[in-house]
Amino acid sequence: MLSRWYDPILVVGIERILPARIASLLAVLGVEVMPVPAHLDVTVTRWEDREVRYCLMQLLGGTMPLRTFNLRLAILNEQRRRSGKPWALASSYIADIPLPVLSHYLNPSVLWCQCAPADAADLLLSVQPPTAGWSPSDALDLCTRRHQTLTRWLDGYRVLPLKAQDIQACRPDVLDDLVAFCGLTPTMDETYLASVFWTPQNEGDAHGQKEVCAAVDERRGYAHVACEEEGR
């Protein structure tokens, strides 16, 4: 019998870049992120839980009944709670569906990456290909709706608000507050790697960042690929 069941860490936001950065930090700290952010690259969008994302997109597209969605999410949640390891779910799609997904999770630790809708819209547009057809007004409408949804849904949950400017500046207290809030007990190696990773990119040692990525990839059984930020 497992000695401990872990409830999830939910990383939420109204765009993807800031939650991806926090999800990457959690991966460095030894948390099982669903899935692990691709090579800890904070500009890519493959950090989301693919199984949950599939269910959400099917529900939004009208091809999965709500009853089936609820059943599949409940099964996934139970499997991960029994894993015996701290785990995190990060997805911006949570704020796009017409029902409170958080009700499927017991006692989650919610990390809310807070960003003004106008600023979030700019971030969203910065990672969208030109062929996506997004206009500034479309992006602002989406981010405003997501902000309103999260504000309503998160009322009553245990939430650690993380300000956009603090995440972007890699403020040390963000790292300290996150570890304490989520009840994490990282090893000495994980603590060191996190301190290297959580460094402003314009000041950080690029070689050190690559070493962090290589160490985390090796720990998780992945072939290392250099984690250089993609210019978009």
Residue 207 is predicted with a pLDDT of 52
Angle subtended at Cα 90 by Cα 42 and Cα 46, rounded to the nearest 5 degrees: 45
Name the percent of the chain in helix, strand, coil, to the closest 5: 55, 10, 40
The amino acid at 6: Y
Residue 124 is predicted with a pLDDT of 81
- CA–CA gap between residue 40 and residue 217 (Å, rounded): 9
Q: Is 25 inside a domain boundary?
A: yes
Long-range contacts of 54-58 (CB under 8 A, 24+ apart): 56/91, 56/93, 56/94, 56/96, 56/97, 56/101, 57/93
Kindly tell me if the per-residue pLDDT of 176 is higher than 90: yes
Domain count, the chain: 1
Q: Is 184 inside a domain boundary?
A: yes
**DSSP type of residue 102:** G
The burial class, CB within 10 Å (0-12 / 13-18 / 19+), for 114 is buried
Confidence of residue 218 (pLDDT cuts 50, 70, 90): low
Contact 41, 230 (CB under 8 A): yes
More confident call, 106 vs 184:
184
Q: Is 229 inside a domain boundary?
A: no
| Domain of residue 203, CATH code | 3.40.50.300
Q: Is 208 inside a domain boundary?
A: yes
Quote the domain boundaries for residue 17. 9-219
Residue 149 is predicted with a pLDDT of 87
Which range is least confidently modeled, 41-55, 61-75, 128-142?
A: 41-55
Q: Is 140 inside a domain boundary?
A: yes
- The pTM is what? 0.77
Average pLDDT value for the chain: 76
- CA–CA gap between residue 190 and residue 209 (Å, rounded): 13
Q: Is 95 inside a domain boundary?
A: yes
- CA–CA gap between residue 97 and residue 195 (Å, rounded): 36
Q: Is 108 inside a domain boundary?
A: yes
Q: Is 3 inside a domain boundary?
A: no
